[in-house]
């Protein structure tokens, strides 16, 4: 969709215009039955989404943050124990850990994939932890037991799950995948010699259906995927005030359900997700081609051979990020930064005691990354304009530099 030659960062109008009638029918059906919470639409979507993810169970919840939090609680994250994650992610990853009663410890990211660096994870486990007399793995920085790893499949790119799962097994740690940006992303497991879907590899996976995600609700939503039926049942209880039977509360839970109208909408959109993801991959390949041809001075994303990314975001690195964003903004092209401030530098996490320089790769890229327009309906012509404006900006920068 182009309005006055503007190219939005994200288009939430076009995909819904395409499906307007079908989506409105969902609302009409809900009005007719009065089934707004729970019921067959919710169960139908949970079945379909589990199948899409190659997982046995899916539990719909009210957001991706709840999905992460409930999955960690149900997987048995011990109160006051450490869950290891990355500082280059959305704050919800860490919020879910602390709100489930844990403490986040960070490890740095890989400079090419921008996801968890598995050698840093290994280093952390080997040299920043000790083993207690009872055989518990203890984090030296917090003096707390380490019980979980939360890898994030950021930007729709896969974290290196074989290595992460192997370390988790060795150290007997729970793995909950943050797949909130990775609906349909695939990972080639060299160990199993086959492609596996995001959300099907850890003890559980967490997805968000925030409108801008690859599969988005017309409102808030999220889901947990797992092959563990007990974990799925526990998540169902946690999302519904800790009850398996109405008004019989075995534990204290939350109001964290996914409502029926949203699941109906998600079922309609799920049918289109494989095509939308394929279109995102095509758009990413087109950007890669344009940037390789124009020598535009931006570094395109890197996709390892074992990853089939779904490009929730198309993130490049550049020398003068603020200048480039301002130039593109003036040209009517929307951009974003995911994320400008690493979690260990956020005021909310001052109490964790990290300092500048603790995660040099994350800190470096945080000042260089920019997310370009990316959505399934983006056209090749629009991408040409984005690339042309970036080239023009880089040329002007060279000329300015020569003048000085």
Ligand X SMILES: *Cc1c(COP(=O)(O)O)cnc(C)c1O
Q: Between 180 and 232, name the residue whose CB sits nearer to ligand X.
A: 180
- CA dist., res. 341 & res. 345, Å (int): 6
Q: Identify the CA nearest to 267 among candidates 58, 55, 10, 12.
A: 58
- CA dist., res. 50 & res. 200, Å (int): 9
Q: Between 103 and 296, name the residue whose CB sits nearer to ligand X.
A: 103
DSSP state string for 332-360 = TB--B-S-SS-GGGSGGGGGG---TTSSH
Contact criterion met (CB below 8 Å) for 88 and 189: no
Distance of CA 315 to the CA centre of its chain: 14
Instruction: Determine if 259 is a binding residue for ligand X (CB under 6 A).
Output: no
Closest separation in Å from C-beta 223 to ligand X: 10
Instruction: Determine if 208 is a binding residue for ligand X (CB under 6 A).
Output: yes
Instruction: Determine if 89 is a binding residue for ligand X (CB under 6 A).
Output: yes
State the CB neighbour count (10 A cutoff) for residue 306: 15
Q: Between 307 and 383, name the residue whose CB sits nearer to ligand X.
A: 307
Q: What one-character DSSP code corresponds to residue 152?
A: B
Q: Identify the CA nearest to 116 among candidates 133, 104, 127, 98.
A: 104
Structure tokens at 400: 């300015």
Q: Between 159 and 387, name the residue whose CB sits nearer to ligand X.
A: 159
Instruction: Determine if 150 is a binding residue for ligand X (CB under 6 A).
Output: no
Pick one of 60, 65, 183, 185: the residue that binds ligand X (CB under 6 A).
Answer: 65
Closest separation in Å from C-beta 34 to ligand X: 27
| Nearest residue relative to ligand X (C-beta) | 64
Q: Which of residues 219-238 bind ligand X (CB under 6 A)?
A: 222
Span near ligand X by CB under 6 A; candidates 29-37, 59-67, 277-285, 344-352? 59-67
Instruction: Determine if 178 is a binding residue for ligand X (CB under 6 A).
Output: yes
Q: Coil, strand or helix: which one is 90?
A: coil
Q: Between 35 and 334, name the residue whose CB sits nearer to ligand X.
A: 334
Q: What does the binding site for ligand X look like in residue numbers (CB under 6 A)? A: 63-65, 89-90, 92-93, 152, 178, 180-181, 208, 210, 222
């Amino acid at each position: 969709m182009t309005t006055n030659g503007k190219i939005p960062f994200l288009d939430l109008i076009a995909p819904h215009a395409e499906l307007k009638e079908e989506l409105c029918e969902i609302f009409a059906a809900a009005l007719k039955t009065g089934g707004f919470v729970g019921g067959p639409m919710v169960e139908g979507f949970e079945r379909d989404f589990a199948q899409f993810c190659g997982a046995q169970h899916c539990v719909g919840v009210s957001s991706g943050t709840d999905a992460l939090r409930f999955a960690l609680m149900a997987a048995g994250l011990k109160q006051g124990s450490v869950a290891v994650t990355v500082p280059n992610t959305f704050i919800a990853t860490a919020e879910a850990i602390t709100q489930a009663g844990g403490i986040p410890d960070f490890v740095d990211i890989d400079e090419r994939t921008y996801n968890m660096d598995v050698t840093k994870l290994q280093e952390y486990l080997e040299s920043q932890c000790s083993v207690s007399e009872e055989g518990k793995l203890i984090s030296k920085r917090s003096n707390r037991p380490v019980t979980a790893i939360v890898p994030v499949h950021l930007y729709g790119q896969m974290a290196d799950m074989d290595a992460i799962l192997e370390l988790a097994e060795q150290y007997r740690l729970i793995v909950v995948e943050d797949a909130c940006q990775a609906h349909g992303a695939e990972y080639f497991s060299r160990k199993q010699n086959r492609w596996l879907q995001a959300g099907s590899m850890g003890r559980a996976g967490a997805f968000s259906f925030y409108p801008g995600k690859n599969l988005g609700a017309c409102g808030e939503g999220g889901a947990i995927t797992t092959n563990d039926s007990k974990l799925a049942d526990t998540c169902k209880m946690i999302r519904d005030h800790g009850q398996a039977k109405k008004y019989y509360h075995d534990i204290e839970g939350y109001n964290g359900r996914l409502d029926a109208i949203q699941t109906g909408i998600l079922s309609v959109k799920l049918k289109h997700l494989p095509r939308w993801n394929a279109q995102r991959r095509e758009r990413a390949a087109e950007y890669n081609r344009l940037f390789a041809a124009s020598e535009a001075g931006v570094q395109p994303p890197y996709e390892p051979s074992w990853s089939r990314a779904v490009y929730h975001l198309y993130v490049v690195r550049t020398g003068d990020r603020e200048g480039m964003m301002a130039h593109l903004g003036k040209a009517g092209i929307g951009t974003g930064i995911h994320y400008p401030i690493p979690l260990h530098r956020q005021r909310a996490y001052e109490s964790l005691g990290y300092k500048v320089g603790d995660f040099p790769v994350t800190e470096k890229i945080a000042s260089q990354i920019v997310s370009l327009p990316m959505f399934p309906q983006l056209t090749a012509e629009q991408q040409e304009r984005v690339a042309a404006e970036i080239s023009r900006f880089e040329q002007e920068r060279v000329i300015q530099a020569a003048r000085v």
